């Protein structure tokens, strides 16, 4: 469920005034994560690495209040639930998009991830959750990437986490990620805290 709120009553009042009409309000932070635990967990449990990344992203986001607010069409909305969007290669050679509702129950999240991504791949149809604040993801795992900067469109102001292929080193595995967010939604401090929290969630999985 989403509800329109008065920006003046929130912690984002100044940011809304300053950035809502900016032609380029998006900010991108880049951080290299230690994903050794995710790789081991994925292999031991037989689950997908990207699913685990999406789960940790959702878990980290729930601890940052600003993720539950989003500017849309010159207004500010508050949501009471989060979802993680996944881009899927479909059977027709294109891509489909599906929103996975976030739950702290890893098994349930994995079940939803498997069923929704499989359906998107086989039916070549996208599925969307209208009443959730969506965190976009884009995983281009065929190649190692240092940084990804997404295009900005006023049709999509949602935060976006992007990554390529993880990198194996002698004692650990790392993954550079790019985090793009709308400046009305959060400032650099909250975004940096999210990235720190994401690393903690990976360590604690």
Above 80 in pLDDT, residue 96? yes
Query: What values do phi and psi take at 28, rounded to 5?
Result: -125, 125
* 135-167 residue pLDDT tens: 999 999 999 999 999 888 777 899 999 999 999
Domains of the chain from N-terminus onward: 26-68+82-204 (3.30.559.10)
Q: Please tell me the predicted confidence (pLDDT) of residue 151.
A: 81
Contact 16, 25 (CB under 8 A): no
Q: What is the pTM of this model?
A: 0.96
Cβ-in-10-Å burial (0-12, 13-18, 19+) of 48 comes to middle
pLDDT band at 102; cut points 50, 70, 90? very high
* 107-142 residue pLDDT tens: 999 999 999 999 999 999 999 999 999 999 999 999
Mean pLDDT of 164-177: 96
Mean pLDDT of 165-171: 95
Percent residues over pLDDT 70 in the chain: 100
For 168, other C-beta atoms within 10 Å of its C-beta total 10
Between CA 178 and CA 186 the distance in angstroms is 16
Q: Please tell me the predicted confidence (pLDDT) of residue 65.
A: 96
Query: What values do phi and psi take at 81, rounded to 5?
Result: -150, 155
Q: Please tell me the predicted confidence (pLDDT) of residue 126.
A: 94
* 39-86 residue pLDDT tens: 999 999 999 999 999 999 999 999 999 999 999 999 999 999 999 999
């Amino acid at each position: 469920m989403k509800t329109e709120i008065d920006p003046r009553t929130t912690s984002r009042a100044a940011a809304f005034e300053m950035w809502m009409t900016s032609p380029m309000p998006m900010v991108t932070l880049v951080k290299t994560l230690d994903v050794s635990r995710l790789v081991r967990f994925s292999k031991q449990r037989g689950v997908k690495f990207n699913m685990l990344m999406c789960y940790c992203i959702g878990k980290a986001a729930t601890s940052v209040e600003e993720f539950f607010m989003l500017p849309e069409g010159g207004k500010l909305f508050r949501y009471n639930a989060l979802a993680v969007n996944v881009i899927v290669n479909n059977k027709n050679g294109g891509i489909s998009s599906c929103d996975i509702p976030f739950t702290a129950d890893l098994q349930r999240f994995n079940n939803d991830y498997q069923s929704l991504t499989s359906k998107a791949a086989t039916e070549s149809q996208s599925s969307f959750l209208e009443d959730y604040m969506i965190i976009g993801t884009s995983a281009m795992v065929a190649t190692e990437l240092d940084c990804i900067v997404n295009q900005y469109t006023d049709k999509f102001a949602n935060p976006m986490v992007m990554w390529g292929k993880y990198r194996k080193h002698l004692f650990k595995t790392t993954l550079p990620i790019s985090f793009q967010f709308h400046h009305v939604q959060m400032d650099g401090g909250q975004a940096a805290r999210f990235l720190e929290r994401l690393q903690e969630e990976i360590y604690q999985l």
